[in-house]
Structure 1
């Protein structure tokens, strides 16, 4: 493992001004690109098995791992994360400084950096990206900017379901190497949130040339412009070559003009293989060189066959989501509590999740400040579940349980098997379940997160940085179709916690939010925290597993 549990407790994500000042760093490119730059074979092609298709390749319109994995290789953010940890490190910005009130951030940018189209990276390009996001037009485009809504709140003009006051105020290019970002309020997520993959910096010329903002919606489906599908243009160590949908392969090539240590591989191919067993067989056959989230049941077999299986630290949450909008009974807290009591999470963790997984009592791990030991807990108790259902007049309840296919997530190695266990538990408590299976990026996420067609669903999260707001704020900080509730008291409490500058008080505020979520609201049932693994061939060296699943392949060699 990259980190022991003790080491994880020492992670610093630089939330607030004290941490920000400490991390106002300056460093050379080599020291920040993860090391191992002077060793390892150069050349060759690595083929990595992906569980599903990316939604597209425009960072701002994405929020899932299957899309982010190739995007991270092609783009850079202003701030990044040190290899193998959640600590912050310079990215396109060599250093960053907040104002005394935390409402302005000054970024000192790297020099001599170019986008893949040959145009220069500079402060004007940084401001163009932030202005683009803030001024995005169209309900369809705004609805796809999940991270922007969670972090920045609102747009210059909110459309469709977009709501909230904008956090972003302006961006000033003081000179070519200095960008100043101005906010309307302090936010505890910064500076760590500047490292989010969604906030990668794109070439302004390419964005304009390929009509990047022209997202279209037809029913529940979205169509993305040429920038997002054929011409993604960042500053990263790899460049986009093609997405061959017929052969289900994404091909990236080394960027020989990269500002940091050049990638060792000539090519990096992501081969989309939805079935986990098929990924395993292709690894054994040598047609792929690795894949993510192998089944815990396969760890020992893969190791004995000579493959390198590396578990990451658990920095995630799996939850059983409850949509209170469609079925009236689910608006009743007693029914939601009955669902929590009905699921034997201890048994689920023991039988379907990897060694080291833990039952979750709230919606972020213990290592995140704001974790409350005294939240209301829901131990397995089928009789208590039946009693609550009877009190609520909800006996004989039938619920649509949406389950994703063609995906394996760090918190959810096999959704179908996990859903089967939960379904049996619910039926034992008297809740009838209708399973609705949908492909992850072929209907599931839109049905759940946009249309809210479900009653129950499986979803989760791997933390982007070490702050409670990145978990509970992301889930419950605003009205979402996923949970089907709109409670101003909870939204205000989360916003207030996020705005507390003092870090002790910041954590205390989130502790109270966690207590309230588990006792007053319960919009979902926290299930588990799981240490996901990544597996590669013995021919692969230099891959550094990340607790954030933020692996970069520029340090990888293939022997």
Structure 2
């Protein structure tokens, strides 16, 4: 289950702990992931009963349902739309894919040779239709490719709720900028995509599609999805929206009577907006059927008390990190940022965050790369560029004039105390704990950390507006780790919350985008990774193992790892 853009675009994790498993891939209960990195209790449809409700937690109801828009680029939205929008690929546990026959019959790739460009041909399932009866055709793909191709893209204005009416506001242009044209093939059900340059991650870009009418112009694209409930005419999937109750924080999906594939087994899927601290108890009391990602010991210890519970563990694509606002006054100095990074004990912070969860080994999850997870091909720990070294951090601060005077607790320069402000989300244990850990670690090198509390609803708005100095949150990664570099680290990207331009990123991203030799591409990506460590744009802390609590009889759902599932096949065993 993958909404358009989600397979190839990094998304912000919700404050409930990230994706609950609907899209991805036992203390009595659980245990380590199997060798494939997944635990979903895979069952054939014949072994499952018809009916039943699946209740899933989310952080909040969205203000914009468009997953390609920066305001809709959240894992919760991707999970919900994964039940109701086209998804072209079925991902296997190793991250490779095959066609989803509900939407595609086949695909063909002609590699670039000489003067001949790379051409991808998609043959669509002729039975596939939008909910208003319109067929899904090449025209939908052409319009989807057009909106974020970079030719008419605006930066989001976090200071205003008003949307531009003449430009598209995109979460990312990665992939789309490599598309030369999308044309009709033998008939309207054949999509022919010609690329400007070789593009190895084309399948991430064309993992899904939006209805052309829903993104026909910038105004519709930017504001047409800003409704209580998405326009049913714009959707196509095994489920449809039944209701959205914003006062109760509830979204209800039911089987789509216009669906052409296998009938959905569940009679209803409900998403409930809950604070992170309320989720464990709601699951334990059987008010929820699954949890989002388990992120701390309190959640883990609470959920395993439920008699029929198990915790399914999989390879995680979500990663925890510090983002540093380079435009904040004191943070504008790269050497200050480097000193901060060298004062961070990331191993200690990881162990503290994950203490008490006995089905994982926290020290194995410490992350040393901005792109590859430790279990992905290409992973190299590049954190030695700015290693944990408090003594060196102090010397660096001395060098640039931030001195620790005798008898003083914190460094000063020109009579001003060296202070940084950490933006903490109230009620989110990891956010609060990471702030306290940072406070203790920075004190050892003479930096004062003031913790500034905020709500989960305001947090990401403050990131976009640059109203912070340092913060921690999670990105939900993808099966395409080399396709998202420009999204977070590109100078012009709306998702570059650090507001920092890194010359090596600008130089190498175009090469990485078109390099077809996998080893060379990995080497180039790791070169960029080292530059990001040196610039101190973002400091990774750890990879989040995917831990999902479910009832034991729930099948085809849980910790998907790098794989994906079919929403229509989720159900309860007989």
Question: What TM-score do you get using the length of structure 2 for normalisation?
Answer: 0.78
SS at match of 1:458: strand
Distance 1:507 1:361, change over 3 A: same
Output the CA distance in 2 between the equivalents of 1:402 and 1:235: 39
Residue 531 of structure 2, aligned match among 516, 524, 539: 516
Match of residue 198 from structure 2: 186
Tell me, yes or no, if structure 1 residue 284 matches structure 2 residue 284. Answer: yes
CA distance in structure 2 between the partners assigned to 1:110 and 1:405 by the alignment: 47
Q: Is 1:502 matched with 2:517? A: yes
2:400 and 2:232 map into 1 onto residues whose CA distance is 54
**Partner-residue secondary structure (3-state), 2:479:** coil
Instruction: Classify the secondary structure of the residue corresponding to 2:374.
Output: coil
Is the 2:314–2:561 contact (alpha carbons within 8 Å) kept by the matching residues of 1?
yes
* Alignment partners' CA distance in 2, 1:321 and 1:210: 30
| Shift in CA distance, 85/416, structure 1 to aligned 2, threshold 3 Å | farther
Q: Which residue of 2 aligns with 1:360?
A: 367
Give the equivalent residue in structure 2 for 1:554. 568
Give distance in 2, aligned partners of 1:400 and 1:539: 46
3-state SS of 1:483 partner: coil
Q: 1:423 to 1:66 in 2, by over 3 A?
A: farther
Map of 1:21 onto structure 2? none
Q: What is the CA-CA distance between 1:447 and the residue it aligns to?
A: 1.9
Query: Aligned to 2:170, which of 128, 145, 149?
Result: 145
Deviates further, 543-552 or 36-45: 543-552
Confirm or deny that 1:476 pairs with 2:492. no
SS of match in other structure, 1:261:
coil
Cα gap change, 1:535 to 1:551, in 2 (>3 Å): farther
Alignment map for 1:201-350 (pairs within 5 Å)? 201-205=209-213, 212-215=220-223, 225-226=226-227, 229=230, 231=232, 233-276=234-277, 278-297=278-297, 298-306=299-307, 307-327=309-329, 329-350=330-351
Q: Which runs of 5+ in 1 are unaligned?
A: 10-33, 153-165, 216-222, 408-412
> Is 1:400 aligned to 2:391, yes or no?
no
Confirm or deny: 8 A CA contact 2:131 2:232 kept in the other structure: no
Once the two structures are superposed, the pairs formed by residues 163-202 of structure 1 within 5 Å of their partners are 166-174=177-185, 175-195=187-207, 200-202=208-210
* 2:55 matches 1:47: yes
Distance 1:531 1:251 in 2: 28
Deviation at 1:226, TM superposition (A): 3.8
1:90 — aligned with what?
A: 99
Distance 1:226 1:212, change over 3 A: farther
Secondary structure, aligned partner of 1:526: strand
Residues 133, 526 of structure 1: alpha-carbon distance in 2 compared, 3 angstrom cutoff? closer
Which residue in 2 is equivalent to 1:527? 541
> Hey, what does 1:68 align to over in structure 2?
78
**Alignment partner of 2:142 out of 127, 138, 146:** 127
Q: In structure 2, how many angstroms separate the alpha carbons of the residues matched to 1:428 and 1:333?
A: 20
**Contact 1:239–1:253, Cα closer than 8 Å, also in 2:** yes
CA distance in 1, matches of 2:425, 2:514: 35
Q: Using a 3 Å threshold, how does the CA distance of structure 1 residues 65 and 85 change in structure 2: closer, same or farther?
A: farther
Aligned mate of 1:112, from 127, 130, 138: 127
Match of 2:111 among 83, 100, 104: 100
SS at match of 1:429: coil
Change (3 A) 1:439 1:300: closer
CA distance in 1, matches of 2:32, 2:281: 30
Checking the alignment, whether the CA contact within 8 Å between 1:342 and 1:426 is kept in structure 2 is: yes
Separation (CA, whole Å) in 1 of partners of 2:233 and 2:421: 38
Question: Aligned with 1:290: secondary structure?
Answer: coil
Contact 1:341 1:384 in 2 (8 A): yes
> Higher helix share goes to which structure?
1
Identify if the C-alpha distance between structure 1 residues 356 and 468 changes in structure 2 by more than 3 Å, giving closer, same or farther.
Answer: farther
1:417 counterpart = 2:425: no
CA offset digits 1:104-135 (Å, max 9, x no partner) = 21111112112122222222332233234447
Alpha-carbon distance in 2 for matches of 1:131, 1:406: 41
Cα distance in 2 for residues equivalent to 1:53 and 1:420: 29
Higher relative contact order (CA 8 A, sep 6+): 2
Instruction: Please tell me whether residue 446 in structure 1 is matched to residue 446 in structure 2.
Output: no
Q: More displaced, 370-379 or 124-133? A: 370-379
Distance 2:300 2:418 in 1: 39
Counterpart Cα distance in 2 of 1:545 and 1:465: 15
Look up the match of 1:28: none
Q: CA deviation at 1:377?
A: 4.6
1:433 aligned to 436, 444, 449, which one?
449
Q: How many residues align?
A: 498
Q: CA distance change for structure 1 residues 273 and 279 in 2, over 3 Å: closer, same or farther? A: same
Report the CA distance shift for 1:490/1:59 in structure 2 as closer, same or farther (over 3 A). Answer: closer
Secondary structure of 1:464's partner? coil
Equivalent pair of 2:55/2:272 in contact (CA under 8 Å) = yes
Residues 153, 169 of structure 2: 8 Å contact kept: no
Classify 1:549/1:405 alpha carbon distance in 2 versus 1 (closer, same or farther; 3 Å): farther
Deviation at 1:332, TM superposition (A): 2.7
- Distance, in Å, in 1 between the alignment partners of 2:35 and 2:286 is 37
User: Residue 400 and residue 250 in structure 1: after superposition, are their counterparts in 2 closer, same or farther (change >3 A)?
Assistant: same
Equivalent in the alignment of 1:161: none
For the residue of structure 1 that corresponds to 2:545, the secondary structure is coil
**Structure 1 pair 462/484, CA: closer, same or farther in 2 (3 Å)?**
same
Partner of 2:469: 455
Compute the displacement of 1:259 (Å). 3.2
Question: Using the alignment, how far apart are the partners of 2:109 and 2:191 within structure 1?
Answer: 12
CA contact (8 A) 2:57 2:291 kept: yes
**Contact persistence 1:315–1:365 (CA under 8 A):** yes
Contact kept, 8 Å, 2:33 with 2:313, in 1: the verdict is no
Shift in alpha-carbon separation, 1:335–1:524, aligned structure 2, 3 A = same
Q: Secondary structure at the match of 1:129?
A: helix
